[in-house]
Structure 1
């Protein structure tokens, strides 16, 4: 997906959230704020983007989003339960009604056979609940994993907004 495509998708998120009067929040690890950056790059985003949490370390996930330390110890930071809790934590610590969370291994190192480079967990939360998505982008390079993650997160926001 090109930067122009990401911008168009972010614009769609902003416009549909505005049309429904919904506020958004992001909780990001491996994307380091790129999802929030894509959203706030759109004029008028201040009407719908409440905040973004960049929680790169496990301590930040616990401190800023309220994740229980035992959850991260049991499942690891790159897991479905952590992604779900990140999304719910973002809702609980913001004025947003919809949130998206991203946690993964962008590479080039840090992977293992169980959790390889390119594994990313996503969760989006809103009034109709929390949905999870797992992507295995593969070892396609750090920036490509991060950009593909931004795209997936934006698509999940579109879906959660539509369901709200």
Structure 2
């Protein structure tokens, strides 16, 4: 589970389009000094193609503490959060409850993810795809159904995160699309 930590430990985060956020900073509201991610404690997580960040910053110059809550889009634009801070923090903690802790700190135990019970196929798996396209996910087409080893699977849902559980009748294709046996 992702626990609050130095924001710099969560970075870099890379979007699906290849853009990467390696550093983050915010001006101190009191002395206007730039406060970097190494002086912020909180959570940063890449979800739904956006980075959600909630932290408490401490200015190294004047020791002023101030909250930071923002959303960073894949074009690296920073947007302020309009929700009350306590609601945003509660939502972010809940949304990241299955995220792993950032690497590099042996003091934290990383929970082992449960092994999915369904099939997990790589992008180069030998599958027959339907010509009917339902839409697109992460820029790639979603086939209405696929056939694998003589069995037909119909599209069920997209899997944007790493925390998923498959039932025995489900198949994960390319690590992002879940199909269920027909």
TM-score normalised by L of structure 1: 0.26
Greater relative contact order structure (CA < 8 Å, 6+ sep): 1
Larger proportion of strand: 2
Larger proportion of helix: 1
